[in-house]
Chains A and B, each alone.
Chain A
Amino acid sequence: MNVLTDNFAAFRDGFLKTVELTALSTLLALVLGILIAAFRVSPVPALRVFGTVWVTLLRNTPLVLLFLIVTLGLPALGLKGWDSFWLAVMALGCYTSAFICEAVRSGINTVSVGQAEAARSIGMTFSQTLGHIVLPQAARTAIPPVGSLIIALTKNSAIASGFDVMELGALQKELNADAGYNILVIFLWIAICYLIITLTLSGLFRLLENRMAVAR
């Protein structure tokens, strides 16, 4: 118990940093993922190729390597002065965007062609078909996998501790180095912090799923 009460401020900061990191990377991953998914289903071959290359490369690269590429590569592109937090957001966001893209794309692919054909035959425009017919049905299939991807992102955010971001994983390292505390107790409290975040997320997504569910 002492571990938590002695270091409450550090725990609070680490917890908030992890939440912030997760939230911002999720935002980036969703924006990029949906954009790349749009590329991959578009009628323009060049964009489709770009999307496929993006997904194949990022899905098969270890996240740690991606962190390295971002930390070493951005300065090489002449873009210096990003702090480690934003670099972590970029690495996590780009990595997860590849998976989100695939979830969104397979969501769109599960909508049967007849749905869109019916919509077009009653005279709906492209944006009406997309907004009223295809996307609502695609979202229903895509939301559960996107939820588990965001939970995975939360867990992956611990890797940022290896790259100078002071979040929960870094806190564990720091307290371990302090000694004097039981390592297992530190682990337990860190574990509880992560469980709070992941359980909240899965609760939120279950709520969303229930709200979007319709009897078919």
Chain B
Amino acid sequence: MSASVLYDVPGPKARRRNRVYGVISIAAVLGLIAFIIYRLDHTGQFQAGLWDDYQYANTQDRIIEGLLTTLKTFALAAVFSLALGAALAAGRLSDHRWVRWSTTVVVEFFRAMPLLIMIFLLYYAYFETQPMWALVIGLTLYNGSVQSEIFRAGINAVPRGQSEAAYAIGLRKTQVMTNVLVPQAVRSMLPSIISQLVVTLKDTSLGFIILYEELLYVGKAFAERTPPENGVYAFIPMVIVFGSIYILLCLALSSLATWIERSTQRSRKGAPAALAAGSATVMVNPSQSAKARPDDDGGPQKGPKTD
């Protein structure tokens, strides 16, 4: 390992000391693992009998069913939240002040609310018989608001010269958005969008609390099926099976995000450096340059808005 901010490249003495620390820490970690395994074995968590349930075909079918339910909920929530996010972002980037304000209030409210509280409300008030929709709508409202902030930040991060140039050659606002800004912004936003989708996937497990039969609900039902031995449920098989399903799903999604991040970085190498804002505005007519600022937190010279 090369020099880091915290320490120099180790010399012979430091290397020896690090080896000692290494041995001590390996011993400590192994000790912790051994303690956990010993205690779990002591309470009978490793008996082969606990796995019997998982060998039946109908148990496996129920796991698959739970997995499909989770994936279906996730797919619906992902699609709806991306659509809602796009709509809210368009509202926040609008030229009309009242549209901007009202969407800001909506976005800030849903971002500040605990998701579970919202799901409870939807469940008790409207969807007591269809918990799936309480979950999907709750996830959509929350994640849609978060996605809209990601979209807005991404579009605002496109260098200003891009939209100024587009307005200068006579494109309309919609054309500037769809032909110039969004294609460039999507690239830089994709990793954040996908990591928010990972959050959405993890949050589908909130359905557990409103007794919606998704993956985790099935898992808990299994864990509690075998009668507890002196107050201890058979939870090891449950954690291994269901925990690894969730972790694998999330890791797959997030490695997609890292892959996209890396591949877009590679294709960026030809991009020219962004012009300084000052030199870019010299070239366009001042009234147009003022018009070309769709965002509300714009610069000092705010021109009249014509549309």
Contact = CB atoms under 8 A, between A and B. Distances in A.
A215 interface: no
Contacts of A172: 117, 120-121
Most-contacted residue by chain A among B42, B125, B209, B250 (CB, 10 A): B209
Interface stretch (B94-102, B166-174, B239-247, B269-277): B239-247
Contact of B18 (A43, A75, A176, A190): A43
Nearest to A163: B209
A60 B287 CA distance: 50
B188 to A, nearest CB: 18
Nearest to A191: B113
A129 B1 CA distance: 20
B206 interface: yes
Nearest to A64: B205
A116 B21 CA distance: 23
A46 B27 CA distance: 10
Given A46-B29, A169-B117, A112 B242 contact: no
B21 A113 contact: no
Nearest to B19: A44
A123 to B, nearest CB: 13
Given A47-B25, A159-B209, A161-B116, A62 B40 contact: no
Nearest to B233: A72
A203 interface: no
A130 B113 contact: no
B10 A43 contact: yes
A167 B21 CA distance: 43
Contacts of A77: 36, 39-40, 43
Contacts of B243: 61, 65, 69
A27 interface: no
A177 to B, nearest CB: 8
Interface in A179-194: 183-184, 187, 190-191, 194
Interface in A58-85: 59-65, 68-69, 72-73, 75-78, 80
Interface in B247-301: 247, 250-251, 254
B57 interface: no
A65 B45 contact: no
B8 interface: yes
A50 B31 CA distance: 13
Contacts of A65: 205, 216, 219, 242-243, 246
Nearest to A119: B5
B169 to A, nearest CB: 38
Most-contacted residue by chain A among B117, B208, B243, B246 (CB, 10 A): B117
B19 to A, nearest CB: 9
Given A50-B25, A73-B235, A194-B112, A113 B3 contact: yes
Contact of B250 (A60, A120, A176): A60
B30 to A, nearest CB: 9
Given A46-B29, A73-B239, A75-B231, A41 B206 contact: no
28 contacts: A41-B6, A43-B7, A43-B10, A43-B18, A46-B25, A46-B26, A46-B29, A65-B205, A65-B219, A68-B216, A68-B220, A69-B235, A72-B233, A75-B233, A77-B39, A77-B43, A80-B231, A108-B6, A116-B5, A117-B3, A134-B6, A159-B206, A159-B209, A169-B116, A172-B120, A183-B121, A183-B124, A187-B125
Given A44-B21, A109-B5, A183-B121, 4 more contacts: A62-B216, A108-B6, A176-B124, A199-B112
Closest 5 CB pairs of A and B: A162-B209, A62-B205, A60-B250, A72-B235, A155-B114
Interface of B: 1, 3-8, 10, 14, 18, 21-22, 25-26, 29, 36, 39-40, 42-43, 45, 112-117, 120-121, 124-125, 198, 202-206, 208-209, 216, 219-220, 223, 231-233, 235-236, 238-239, 242-243, 246-247, 250-251, 254
